[in-house]
Amino acid sequence: MPQRSLFNLPDVGEGLTEAEIVSWKVKPGDVVAVNDVIVEIETAKSIVELPSPYAGPVAELMVAEGDTVAVGTPIIAIGAGAGAPAAVPAPAAAGPVAGEMKPLVGSGPKADAVKRRPRTGSAAAVVRPPDAAPAPAAAQAPARVPASNVNAAGAANRVLAKPPVRKAAKDLGINLADVSPTGLRGEVTKKDLRSYQDQRTAEQDGAATFWAPGAGSGLAGDPRVERIKVKGVRKATAKAMVESAFSAPHVSIFVDVDASRTMEFVKRLKASRDFEGIKVSPLLILSKAVIWAAARNPSVNATWTGEEIIIKHFMNLGIAAATPRGLMVPNIKDAQKLSLRELAIALNSLATTARAGKTQPADMQGGSLTITNIGALGIDTGTPIINPGEVAIVAFGTIKQKPWVLDGEVIPRWITTLGGSFDHRVVDGDLSARFMADVAAIMEEPALLLD
């Protein structure tokens, strides 16, 4: 009898223990080739597309969208039922066998290389078996179905939408089953999403901040209480921050900086032909300042192991990024080697990738020192928690005009406050002060970078 090959959830990043199935790109009966993208998963760090290690027909999707499963769990069966050819493994000297999977390398074609499985209106949707009859055209409209009734409802309750629309809905927190479709095939369009969001915003603007009293009694059944499951990036961030806060003795210092010359320098860079088409902001100058100051004070660019202090003579500069999926800290590898223009391009690429939810696990590993740009949110300063595996983090506050004493006169200047947190096991008070003073010196006079 033809054999089915099981694809187990692989470890796509160092130390991954579990991942959430975000969306299937295939359905039972589809025929896939080796390296066709078959599923999109969300790890504690990023969204990752997994390619198929086998060629053949999809026999079964073994995990529903929205479920979180452990690494090594079988998630899809590729291979045949009766009368169909067995799955063909990827050619290799010792390829995977049924139920096993070697670590994936590289990635295959994008999701549109295979048919995308439409999602049901429930998070606990169960995949329609390949021998089920297709839904009639009149039954394509979206509908809410209790999880316990999904099997009985079958294909009649699918919500049709293209991948970009699904992603937009997820980013906005919209359940596609709640949106009235206007597409030619009964699919939800971006216009439908915008219309639904406008209506929802109008309702929220006209609603009270808190729900009316008496709507429920006690937390267990109180409709006024919202419960959000802790998973993915939020779960990983919480674990990392608790470990850092309670294992590394933090000491924080602050310095006010006259960044007027940084603002002038940024203005000149924006007008320069060398930076045409490249977004330039004061964060670029701060990043260069941190790299420069760390080279002068190497112990801030280190890792504490308990047995030794590992000083890194390279800079993988981490930039804390707020994304729709939560806080991430991707880093720019070997940032010390980059020119000012190359660093600007790298910062832009990092931000764009993070906002799109496409940051890969490798981009968040091996960081040296982190910058958190809280000034982008209008905050003056803060006491950031050190990223695990590092010993220093710099908080960049907002830059705004304030009265400043210069040569005995009070004049308006562009002022910012830098905050630094340091692991006191490695970085003493004197060293942290010298490092922050060096960073401030560059922000006050960017021409020092030319020395």
Element (H, E) at 431: helix 429-444
**Is the model's pLDDT at 112 over the cut of 70?**
no
pTM: 0.57
One-letter amino acid of 3:
Q
CATH topology of domain 1-117: OB fold (Dihydrolipoamide Acetyltransferase, E2P) (2.40.50)
Can you list the alpha helix ranges (DSSP code H) found in 256-390? 260-271, 282-296, 340-355
| pLDDT recorded at residue 137 | 38
pLDDT tens, residue by residue, 54-110: 999 999 999 998 888 888 999 999 986 534 444 555 554 333 333 334 334 333 333
Range picked from 210-219, 312-321, 360-369 for highest mean pLDDT: 312-321
Catalytic residues: 424
Q: Where are the domains of the chain?
A: 1-117, 129-201, 233-450
Rounded distance between C-alpha atoms, residue 111 and residue 121, angstroms: 21
Only one residue has tokens 């729900």, namely 211
**CATH architecture of the domain with residue range 129-201:** Irregular (4.10)
Q: Which class for 427: exposed (0-12), middle (13-18), buried (19 or more C-beta within 10 A)?
A: buried
One-letter amino acid of 344:
A
Rounded distance between C-alpha atoms, residue 58 and residue 46, angstroms: 26
Q: Domain spanning 233-450: which superfamily?
A: Chloramphenicol acetyltransferase-like domain (3.30.559.10)
One-letter amino acid of 178:
D
Q: For residue 25, what are the CA distances in angstroms to 6, 108, 293?
A: 17, 13, 47
Q: 195-199, 360-364, 430-434: lowest mean pLDDT where?
A: 195-199
The confidence band for 144, taking pLDDT boundaries of 50, 70 and 90, is: very low
Only one residue has tokens 């030619």, namely 184
Counting every residue written for the chain, the total comes to 451
Q: For residue 176, what are the CA distances in angstroms to 65, 192, 381, 407?
A: 14, 10, 39, 62
